[in-house]
Amino acid sequence: MIQPQSITFFVDRCLGSKCIVETLQSAGMNIEIHDEHFDKGAQDVEWLPEVGKRGWIVLTKDANIGKHTLERIAVAHAQIKMFALASQSLSGRDMAAIFLKAIVPMQEFVREHPAPFIAKVYRDSRIAMWKDQKMLSEELERFLSGIGD
């Protein structure tokens, strides 16, 4: 069993609420589930601020969060640390296995990299920074100053 850390992972709705949650919980991880805190139809920009306030680490497969300006701004403003699966066409079991294998490296990554960030988790459980603190913070500054894109 993996030793639980003082890190809580928030499982985005797009990952489902059963296979990944059960796999990570059985490994001793602290897990929070989207639908236990937010409406099923809640937009990312609605739940990201609350997740950021609580200091939870987001697990998702929603690559659009990193591609859409308002969602990146929400990640930056809420000081979110996020891991997104690089492959979206995986079974729940495959996603759970990837996250389980990557859990210790993700914990280390969280401790080594300041918020906000969006990192990708690949099929081989490798983790790579996608949008780092500098990039997201600069985009937030431009947005708040009215320059935006």
Q: Among 2-6, 66-70, 71-75, 79-83, where is mean pLDDT lowest? A: 2-6
Rounded distance, CA 119 to CA 121, Å? 7
| φ, ψ at 129 (rounded to 5°) | -65, 135
pLDDT for position 54? 96
Rounded distance, CA 71 to CA 43, Å? 9
Please report, for the chain, the start and end positions of each structural domain, with discontinuous segments joined by +.
Answer: 8-144
- SS3 call for 124: coil
In CATH, what is the architecture of 8-144? Answer: 3-Layer(aba) Sandwich (3.40)
- CA 7 to chain CA mean position, Å: 12
Rounded distance, CA 108 to CA 79, Å? 18
Amino acid, single-letter form, for residue 69: T
Neighbours of 67 (CB within 10 A): 10
Q: How much of the chain, in percent, has pLDDT values that exceed 70?
A: 94
pLDDT, one tens digit per residue, over 37-68 is 999 889 999 999 999 999 999 999 988 888 89
Neighbours of 65 (CB within 10 A): 24
Rounded distance, CA 122 to CA 41, Å? 27
